[in-house]
Amino acid sequence: MGTANPQLVFVHGIGGLRNAEAEREQWLRALATGVRAAGQAELVSALTQGWLAEVRFADYSDLFNTRGAQGGALGSELDPSDEQVLSGLLEAMVDELTEQYPPDSGTRDATVIEQARHHVDALSSGSHAQGVGEFARRLVWVTTTLLQLPGLRQGAQWANGRAFALYLSQVARYLNRHGDRAALGSAIRSRVLEGLDPARPLVVVSHSLGTVVAYEALHDYEGPVALWVTLGSPLALGGVVLQRLVPRPPSCPEGVGVWHNFWDRNDVVVGRPQLADWIAPSSRGVKAQTAPVKSGGVWTHTATRYLEHAEVAGPIVKALVP
């Protein structure tokens, strides 16, 4: 592979321990599906065989899962700042679901969502007076309730409400800038940037929490970024994520040449079009170009679902072609 080849980096979101090579292949296969849908099938072999770009899956999952990944004590891993972020994140998710299934619709899903809102309200009201671990117990009540929704239960692939809660807590742990949490965030960003050559073109495709990680990592990157793609991004969740981003005030990383942000109307953890309005352009005037995609089902928050869309894959492969 020639040294002039572009670099393509995939940045994942929440979840358990990952097999970087297997996930790299899954993301590539999904991207290849999208490339075909975009009418550029002749580029698929070059993409999947590594001729078009050097492709890396930036895996930081072990940094989150060294403790508690297989049933550890969720409550012991959360401090008050983590709890505040988690409460806000779940409230935002329930708000999105309520838009899809309003209480007056009379459906079972609407009833489940109202039950989840009741638990979120209890979660947000403060639980320290009720003893250590009470927040974690209430958190699991919320996530267990949400998993009664068929789309979440079938698509999210969480084993149970506790696993769902544990992985959601990764968002809070990353955004916590205190003590060991600051070191965790720094180590995660290093995983994204390691091995990159600032003299070569770079395309970054990030998903979910990975868009937050990429936002902060790219502010530290010294080379040009031909394209940055954000999928299912929570960057514009104002009270939860946006106000905790570093650096502040939020702006597009200076090295980014083009930023495409894609959201699915059924994705319950995204900030929707506000991202383009709430994150300022770079000094060069680059800002997020936001566009919706539409997938079937309630739970569309997976990177591969996004990558299979022609409108997502097209710009990515275009940025890789010399």
In sequence order, what are the residues at sequence separation of 6 or more whose Cβ sits closer than 8 angstroms to the Cβ of residue 242?
A: 235, 236, 250, 271, 278, 279
- C-alpha triplet 114, 129, 111: angle, nearest 5°: 5
Model pLDDT for residues 259-289, shown as the tens digit of each residue: 999 988 767 666 566 788 889 999 999 999 9
Model pLDDT for residues 94-111, shown as the tens digit of each residue: 887 887 778 888 888 899
Strands (E), 133-226: 202-207
Domain match, 97 and 221 both? no
Domain match, 169 and 88 both? yes
- Closest to 24 measured CA to CA, from 61, 1, 58, 65: 58
Model pLDDT for residues 223-245, shown as the tens digit of each residue: 999 999 999 898 987 678 888 99
What mean pLDDT comes out for the span 20-39? 97
Task: Please indicate, yes or no, if residue 161 is contained in any of the structural domains.
Answer: yes
Task: Please indicate, yes or no, if residue 258 is contained in any of the structural domains.
Answer: yes
Domain match, 205 and 225 both? yes
pLDDT at site 106? 81
Phi, psi of 288 (to 5 degrees): -65, 130
Sheet holding 288-293, edge to edge: 54-58, 7-11, 202-207, 227-231, 259-264, 288-293
Domain end, chosen from 113, 141, 175, is at 175
Model pLDDT for residues 112-136, shown as the tens digit of each residue: 999 999 988 888 775 444 555 788 8
Domain match, 55 and 204 both? yes
Domain match, 184 and 59 both? yes
Domain span holding position 151: 75-175
Q: Strand pairing partners for 203?
A: 8, 227
Task: Please indicate, yes or no, if residue 2 is contained in any of the structural domains.
Answer: no
- C-alpha triplet 210, 19, 46: angle, nearest 5°: 80
pLDDT at site 131? 55
Q: What percent of the chain has pLDDT over 70?
A: 85
Domain match, 29 and 161 both? no
Domain end, chosen from 175, 202, 231, is at 175
Domain end, chosen from 140, 175, 210, is at 175
Task: Please indicate, yes or no, if residue 239 is contained in any of the structural domains.
Answer: yes
User: How many domains does the chain fold into?
Assistant: 2
Indicate the burial class of 311 (C-beta count within 10 angstroms; 0-12, 13-18, 19 or more): middle
What mean pLDDT comes out for the span 159-179? 85
Distance CA 237, CA 94 (A): 13
Indicate the burial class of 309 (C-beta count within 10 angstroms; 0-12, 13-18, 19 or more): buried
- Sign (positive or negative) of CA dihedral 79, 149, 99, 205: positive
CATH number reported for the structural domain that contains residue 301 in this entry: 3.40.50.1820
In sequence order, what are the residues at sequence separation of 6 or more whose Cβ sits closer than 8 angstroms to the Cβ of residue 308?
A: 30, 33, 34, 37
Q: Strand pairing partners for 229?
A: 205, 260
Amino acid at residue number 71: G
